[in-house]
Amino acid sequence: MFNLFSKSLLNRRGTAILTIISISISVTLLIGVENIRKGVRTSFSSAVSGTDIIVGARGGSLQLLLYSIFRIGNSPNNLSWESYNELRNNKRVKWTIPISLGDSHRGFRVVGTNLDYFKFFRYGSKRKLEFLKGKPFSKVFDTVIGSEIAIKFNYKLNEKIIIAHGTGKKSFLNHDDKPFKIVGILKPTGTPVDQSLHVSLEGITAMHIDWESGAPPMEGESISAEEVLKLDLTPEEITSFLIGLKSKIHVFDLQRKVNTYKEEPLSAIMPGVALQELWNILRTAETGLRVITWFVLFAGLLGMVTSLLSGLNERRREMAILRSVGAGPGTISFLLILEAIILTLAGIILGLIILYLALFVSQPILENYFGLFIPINALSNRDIIILGGILLTAMLMGIIPALKAYHQSLADGMTIRL
């Protein structure tokens, strides 16, 4: 039976190959979209870990999360250094990480912070930042860069770089009179940390001390890097800060205190809640993608059935010869159902091969250029159920041409149609 089936399929290898490719593309999209969806969620969720509250200027919770953690967008306003110090000294606060944004280097964000960033910041499963080379900044004009920046520009330790004013990929306003020296390169994290340059808050102040309202100093009014070091570089304001509490039971109380802070309008958010808000916004898009991939899969299976049905007319004589040598209608029907199952199974296998090859090739690209880490995992139980459902659907759809072949008479196959 298998020998008969293989020879029949080999005789129509062109149509069979196209059918297999069609189904494989459908399977790649169906399983791939689900894997990418999970990977994106995991990547976003792993960007910050162990942070109880994020505080910033009054605004949307999602906006605060995006610019503080993912370096996406900009803050509507800054918050004062005095407010930061008051909240930092709250008896329920264990640690804080100040963040100052607004500058960039060749399209990558510059993050002003302090040494608590390297001490308390966590990502993934509460993993600590580690250095590939060098050490944390200790001087005003020191910088620690993420792994992606080091790879892209081939930066080395002790190399000097220029920071630009603003966050655009190209800027005509540079702090070229105050270069920074690379003293550390972080290990890859698969988070926006890899795409960030980290400098001290004093370094941020030093760069802008002779700037007025975002404009560079007039000729003859600039302050040199040597003179800046003699000045008080305590920042006047920051963009936001992260808070770790001594006990999580105080998170709602402190959040309410920040949101009703009288000195200036502030917002306090919990990262997990803000992420859930993001997923709720994206849920419609995710559902749309799933619907599209299911329709693509259905189109692939429908194309297979159409191919089998259209091929029946060409195979009338083949069927008749099989019937004449003793093959019953059930045998013919079984051959067609088996053909549908084998074609679908081959399409599934090819689709999975394409998917894992695509993930293997795109994983470092997505991680390096977009900060997204898409894990390459084995098939989940849900994936196996989906693939089993596809095989079952193919078998059921294969019954359609099988029934037509079953009702064909022996004489019908022997009749020559002009």
Residue 299: partners with Cβ closer than 8 Å, 6 or more residues away: 22, 26
**Distance between CA atoms of 378 and 193, rounded to whole angstroms?**
28
Residues 338-349 as b/e (b if ≥16 CB within 10 A, e otherwise) read: bbbebbbbbbbe
Q: Tell the residue number behind the tokens 């999970």, with chain if given.
A: 38
Q: DSSP assignment, residue 239?
A: S
Beta strand 108-113 with 93-105 is: antiparallel
Host H or E run for residue 3: helix 2-11
State the pLDDT at residue 257.
Answer: 93
What does the pLDDT profile of the chain (418 residues) look like in tens digits?
566 656 666 766 777 788 888 888 888 888 888 787 777 777 777 778 889 999 999 988 889 998 999 888 888 899 999 999 999 999 999 999 999 998 999 889 999 999 999 999 998 778 899 999 999 999 999 999 999 899 999 999 999 999 998 776 666 688 888 999 999 999 988 788 989 999 999 999 999 888 776 677 777 678 888 888 889 999 999 999 999 999 989 999 999 999 999 999 999 999 988 888 887 877 777 777 778 878 877 777 777 777 666 655 556 666 666 655 555 566 667 777 777 788 889 888 998 999 999 888 887 777 655 556 677 778 888 888 888 888 888 888 777 776 776 665 444 544 545 4
User: DSSP string of 42-110?
Assistant: HHHHTT--S--EEEEESS-HHHHHHHHHS--S--S--EEHHHHHHHHT-TTEEEEEEEEEEEEETTEEE
Rounded-to-integer distance, Cα 346 and Cα 339, Å = 10
The rounded distance, in Å, linking the Cα atoms of 415 and 88 is 92
Residue 110, by phi and psi: left (phi above 0), alpha (psi -120 to 50) or beta? beta
DSSP state, 265? -
Q: Please report the pLDDT score of residue 326 as a whole number.
A: 59
Position 12 scores a pLDDT of 67
CA angle centred on 73, ends 68 and 76, rounded to 5°: 80
What is the length of the chain? Answer: 418
Token pair for 212: 């007025």
Contacts of 254 (CB under 8 A, 6+ apart): 53, 90, 92, 93, 243, 245, 268
Tokens, residue 168? 């655009």
Query: Can you give the pLDDT at residue 1?
Result: 54
Contact 52, 384 (CB under 8 A): no
Amino acid at 112: G
d(CA 393, CA 343): 12
CA neighbor of 151 nearest in space, from 185, 128, 109: 185
Q: Is 134 left (phi over 0), alpha (psi -120 to 50) or beta?
A: left
Task: Please name the helix (run of DSSP H) or strand (run of DSSP E) that holds residue 180, with its range, or none.
Answer: strand 180-186
The predicted model scores a pTM of: 0.71
Report d(CA 336, CA 398) in Å as an integer: 6
- CA atoms of 51 and 270, how far apart (whole Å): 8
> For 169, what's the count of Cα atoms within 13 Å in the CB-facing half-sphere?
0
